[in-house]
Homo-oligomer: A and B are copies of this chain.
Amino acid sequence: MAVYTDVSDEELEAFLATYDIGSLLSCKGIAEGVENSNFLLHAEKGNFILTIYEKRVETSDLPFFLGLMNHLAGKGIRCPTPIPARNGSMLGTLRGKPAAIVSFLEGMSVRHPQVRHCAALGSALAGLHLAGRDFTLPRPNALSIKSFRPLLEASGPRADEVQPGLSADLSRVLDQLEAEWPSSLPSGVIHADVFPDNVFFIGKELSGFIDFYFACNDAFAYDIAICLNAWCFEADGSFNITKARALLQAYAGIRPLDPAELAALPVLARGSAMRFLLTRLYDWLNQPPGALVRPKNPLEYWTKLRFHRDLTSAAAYGIDL
């Protein structure tokens, strides 16, 4: 959480002169977004977020991300909406880096989601999936099952520094995942990072999604599996079936789940746990000196992975088969 690129008032003024948002009243660097520099702008025409894309985001992916947010907003999905410059472009350049302005989304993320938050998330996620169906730009999932083996190898035997035997354990689980991974599930645009930080609420209402910088094409049910891991475990590592049921039932109320999707949920949940475990493991073992961001504990996802490994069906997620 940091601002990586420092912008002077003159640079900002010159950049904003290419937009039609009125003159600037204030600009605060905000401690949000691990990957990019974000600024909250108050301009005459409202509040906006200015994002400067840092090196972890591929510039070639930006038309997908910005185009998707624009498409979703057009379908009534509440999310930050790119503001085009006067020349129509959603993407500009500031201090030599790609930069965009999006609308400001009101709301707060919840630290400890309750059952009602999980239900609201289920409906909204189904709505997001439906709204993305006719978005035509493609973006393969860079963190799909195919990436897991190279990611595991990048950490290699050093995984055992985190927990003795972890490297071999992960390799075994991955063998099984690769063997069982489903292929022809209903697919489309998924958010792929639906953690509580990226979903805003105002009071009891879900006010929208933010941070679409992992969005890609993959199985819709994989996005649900990510949510089961990120929203339905308690701080002590136990799984809350009531939250999972609320999430799944609300989702299915908007976009019915087919039997193949339900059957695949345990393996997708293991896969999603593996994905976050592997990226956290890599970040944990490769902390740059003086890093501004404290890496997250990879073992949280090992606990989650083991829960799903013992399941024989999606019944444990509280859904009627």
Give A residues with C-beta under 8 Å from B.
1-3, 8-10, 12, 23-32, 40, 42, 47, 104, 106-112, 200, 202-203, 290-292
Contact = CB atoms under 8 A, between A and B. Distances in A.
Nearest to A203: B23
Residue from A12, A108, A292 whose CB has the most chain B CB atoms within 10 Å: A108
Contact of A9 (B104, B110, B292): B110
5 nearest CB pairs, A to B: A29-B31, A8-B111, A28-B30, A3-B31, A25-B106
B27 A30 contact: no
A12 B3 CA distance: 23
Residue from A3, A31, A202 whose CB has the most chain B CB atoms within 10 Å: A31
A28 B31 contact: yes
Nearest to A109: B9
Contacts of A32: 28-29
Contact of A2 (B12, B28, B31, B200): B31
- Complex copy number for this chain: 2
A26 B106 contact: yes
Contacts of A112: 8, 10
Contacts of A1: 2-3, 29
A116 to B, nearest CB: 14
A200 to B, nearest CB: 8
17 contacts: A2-B292, A3-B31, A9-B108, A25-B107, A25-B108, A26-B106, A26-B108, A26-B200, A27-B108, A28-B30, A28-B32, A29-B30, A29-B32, A30-B30, A31-B31, A290-B290, A292-B292
B40 A28 contact: yes
Contacts of A28: 28, 30-32, 40
Contact of A202 (B12, B25, B104, B203): B25
Given A8-B111, A29-B30, 12 more contacts: A1-B3, A2-B2, A26-B200, A28-B28, A28-B32, A30-B30, A30-B40, A31-B31, A42-B47, A42-B106, A290-B290, A292-B292
Contacts of A291: 290
A107 B47 CA distance: 14
A25 B205 CA distance: 11
Contacts of A30: 28-31, 40
